[in-house]
Amino acid sequence: MNHDREAMDPVIKKDLIDKLLNNTITVNELIKLRPEINEFDLSDIIQHIYDLNLEQVRKIAALAPVMAKVDALKNSQRNTRFIKKVKNNFRKHTAKHNGLKNRVVVVEGDSWFNYPILLSDVIDWVAMEENMAVYSLASGGDWLMNMVSAKKYVEQLSTLQPDVFIISGGGNDLVGNRRIAAMVTHKGDSNEFENSAFAKYLYEKAAKAPDKPEDFKRGTQFISKDFYALLAFFQLQYYFIINGILTGGKGKGENGKFPGIQIITQGYDYAIPSDKKIAGYNPLKWYRLFARTFLGHGGWLKTPLQLRVFTIPKISAKLFMP
């Protein structure tokens, strides 16, 4: 919460949260609400979006024990290499092969940043750079909600004082535990996109317009108001994290503990729902069949959509149209 000005009237705050949940909040109202939100507000909002109590939300967001152990093992190996690398005045030197300044990086995120089986994930590639020392907190399957509530990154930011903080989160909150099935309606008569000022704002600011606007419009007619509430909720969560790092949650840069820190996140490409196990017959890509078979390929998008009677491929595809 912003402590440099008078706190928002609780009645006004509740009214804005209700508007967010009902997909009627304006962009300006969302901007006013962002600095007033705390962990308790975030917890209350997600319970309403998912229509679950806090214990149920935590249960479905919890990492599976086996996955948690595998994630921890990979992070332990990564962080051992990190400690070895940062010794001997790492920050003061430059990389020998390209002369770039050495940088300390702290990473928090999901499977984009910790995919422990078969594949090299994004952070594996970053850590291969000579001038990058990467400390990882990422866990495959983790929810952004968990990252906000656990705040593991806060301790490591304070301890390591990194040059860069990289975060990836939100995908599992949307598609984990088949939650996306609750974000769509099979009737195809939704006008919630037109009600969502924030969604239309993002659409207008997009770097590239849809290739087929008519298909995009048709796709929005299958999306429920809970999706747009979740979209705005992601904005609140990222603001809570990034504002906390840059300003100490007080809205002014001079209050931040990490001057000069760079914060990087990532987004998603357009996804086509599919449960096909084989995509081509390249023997060098043998692991794709293994991964898709044993890691539930199709369970993230296609199966949940089928639960809501999205059996026609063209309609499923339009939900994720570029």
33-66: pLDDT as tens digits: 999 999 899 989 988 998 877 787 777 667 777 7
pLDDT value for 41? 93
Residue 138 lies in a domain: no
Q: Which residues pair with 105 in a beta bridge?
A: 134, 164
Assess whether pLDDT exceeds 90 at residue 89: no
pLDDT value for 197? 94
Confidence of residue 198 (pLDDT cuts 50, 70, 90): very high
Confidence of residue 4 (pLDDT cuts 50, 70, 90): low
pLDDT value for 199? 93
pLDDT value for 208? 81
Q: Checking DSSP bridges between strand 132-136 and strand 103-108, what pairing results, if any?
A: parallel
Residue 213 lies in a domain: yes
Sheet holding 164-167, edge to edge: 132-136, 103-108, 164-167, 262-265
How many domains does the chain fold into? 1
Residue 81 lies in a domain: no
pLDDT value for 309? 63
Assess whether pLDDT exceeds 90 at residue 166: yes
Query: How distant is the alpha carbon of residue 178 from its chain centre?
Result: 16
Return the higher-pLDDT residue of 295 and 55.
55
pLDDT value for 97? 77
Residue 97 lies in a domain: no
Residue 98 lies in a domain: no
Residue 258 lies in a domain: no
Residue 45 lies in a domain: yes
pLDDT value for 134? 97
Assess whether pLDDT exceeds 90 at residue 322: no
pLDDT value for 96? 79
Q: Tell me the residue range of the domain where 16 lies.
A: 10-61+172-242+270-318
Residue 250 lies in a domain: no
185: its two tokens: 């309606």
Phi, psi for 136 (deg, rounded to 5) = -110, 135
Assess whether pLDDT exceeds 70 at residue 298: no
pLDDT value for 188? 86
Q: What is d(CA 113, CA 140) in angstroms, rounded to the nearest whole number?
A: 7
